[in-house]
Structures are given as structure tokens and as C-alpha cells.
Homo-oligomer: A and B are copies of this chain.
């Protein structure tokens, strides 16, 4: 079995009675080696329990086969789905993606990015944490390592971004609510330091404008992008004199929170108050009532991001075009018509 000290190609060269160069060639699957020799070498590799040292190899080879995925919140199933989409593509390309979580913390993100760079990644796919400073990727760009943003983008950056058509999605959702008869609308959750927020809120406001909802009848409540945040939003909204009868939520997590808060008040989403989410996570379909949401084809965007990254690596460029993914509104039960009830009274 394996000796204490790690085996190197020299050990296996000795074992197989060839030179280290031959072993190296076999390892790389070169056709220059006589098949019988290759077999002999592979046997020695097996016997000795050799493990390839990619670090040493990368010292000579220009670049590695690892790609870093830096994600701001792994516990959000939305991002996990994104990661899975990317993995599909990378696997087929023989590339191994390493994932790291930043937990929405820019400092942690800095550490993680640094670590990945030190590891010599060939490229980086990032969903930047909230509050990422503009300069955070300067070093990485300067080093010539390709970066693509997924789902989120940074305001000033020229790094290519793969994201859904947030504006359009919000317009679709808002029009849907208005067409259902709602006249006092709210936008719940998120915070304005996110570009995504501005895009989604922008779509909401634009639809209100075009379909004649006066500014006085629009309510905007910022909040955490979590169930808890959604609950808080609803409480805030129902506390005002003429509360809204429908809300577009920043994302599904917020929407779930809103529905939960409704239930706590004895109200039902869909009949007493219309709720629309964003992202259409798997759970949305299974919730009760099922959540109307803007589908963004998460896994598809992940695949797209991975493809863009591979292309960038291949053409050794650090530039690429943005990609805006198509969206669609999936209407389910949570967005019923306005019943013209004073929901505020029910509390």
C-alpha cells in the first residue's frame, strides 16, 4: 500500500521502469506513448496509490481546470438551483466548479475571492454580496481572470452579467394585479442598494404609471429579503389608513413571509390579499395557496453563465456581453381579484 510519503511521478516511473517524462505523457493521455507502456504505467499508478499534484502541474501549465463559484446565500434554494445549472455544464466540459458561500457578507466575500485567486482558478462566477464595493473586483480583472456575474450585477462594473429581465418580469406581474382589479398596490421587500431591486421596482412603477395607478396609491416597503422580512412588510402595510390590496414581492422568500403573516391575521392570500412573488422557486408551486410568481429559469441562467465563462476562458478574454434571460409570469392561486374589502379591519 501507499508509503508514508506521498508518491510522485518519479516513484511511479521507477516502479514502471520508465522515465518521469513518460509517466507525465501517460497522465496527459498523449498518443505518443506505446499502448503497452501506457498500461504498464497505469498499473504502477494504481499499485502505488499515486495522486496527481495539480498544484505542481499548474506551476508550469498556464491555467488550471478549476472554476470558482461564489454565491451570496446558499441557503436560498434559488441560488442552489443556479449552482446546479452551472454544474451540469461544467461537468460536461471536464471542469470542476468549487463553490463558496459568502453569506451576503462583503468582507467574507473578499476572503473567499482571495482564496480562490490564490488557488489559481481559471475563472470566477459570482453572485455578489450586498454592499460589494466597486473596487472589489479590480485586482481580479487586473490579473486577467475572467469573471461573470450571475443574477446580480454591480452598478458601475463592466463585468458581464447574466440575469433575468427583472424589469419586464415586474411589469408583467404588476399588470396582472391591476388587471385583476387591484387599485392600491404595494412593492414589498428588498433594499435599494441592489441593482436587482431598482430594476424590479422600476418595472412595478412603470406599469403603475402606464395603467394609471396614481403615486398616492402605491406603497413601497423595503425590508429583508427573507420570510421574516416579508412578514414585517405586510404588518407595515396593513397599519396605514388605506392599505393596499395586493403586493408584488421582491422575491419568493418575501412572498412566503407575506402569506404567512396573512394567515396569522386570519386572512388568506389570493382571496383577501393578492400576493405575487419573484423567481418562482420550486416551492412556490407547492405552497398553499400556490404562489403566483415570475419564473426566471434559474437553472437555465446558470447554464448560460457557465457557457459564457467557458467561452471567455477559451478565448482568453475578460470581456463578454451581458445576457438578459426571458421571464414569464406563472399565475397560480395567490393572486386573486380585488374583492374591495377593507382588509385592514380584519386585524
A18 at the interface (CB under 8 A from B): no
Interface size in chain A (residues, C-beta < 8 A): 51
The minimal Cβ–Cβ distance linking A119 to chain B, given in whole angstroms, is 6
Instruction: Enumerate chain B residues within 8 angstroms of A55, measured Cβ to Cβ.
Output: 54-56, 58-59, 119-120
Provide the bound-state CA to CA distance between A343 and B337, in Å.
Answer: 34
Per the bound structure, the CA–CA distance linking A118 and B98 in Å amounts to 13
Are A111's CB and B96's CB within 8 A? Answer: yes
Contact across chains for A74 and B83 when beta carbons are under 8 A apart: yes
Contact B119 A54 (CB under 8 A): yes
A2 / chain B contacts, CB cutoff of 8 Å: 142-144
Do A139 and B288 form a contact, CB below 8 Å, given A101-B87, A111-B96?
Answer: no
- Is the beta-carbon distance between B54 and A139 smaller than 8 angstroms? no
- Determine the distance from Cα of A144 to Cα of B111 in the docked complex, in whole angstroms: 28
Q: Are B103 and A100 in contact (CB under 8 A)?
A: no
Are A98 and B98 CB-contacts (below 8 A) given A2-B143, A142-B2?
Answer: yes
Cβ B81 vs Cβ A75 within 8 A? yes
- Inter-chain contact B103/A84, CB cutoff 8 Å: yes
Q: Determine if A256 is an interface residue (Cβ-Cβ < 8 Å).
A: yes
Q: Which A residues fall within an 8 A CB radius of B?
A: 1-2, 4, 6, 49, 51-56, 58-59, 66, 74-75, 77, 80-81, 83-84, 87, 91, 96-101, 103, 108, 111-112, 115, 117-120, 139, 142-144, 227, 256, 260, 263, 282-283, 286-288
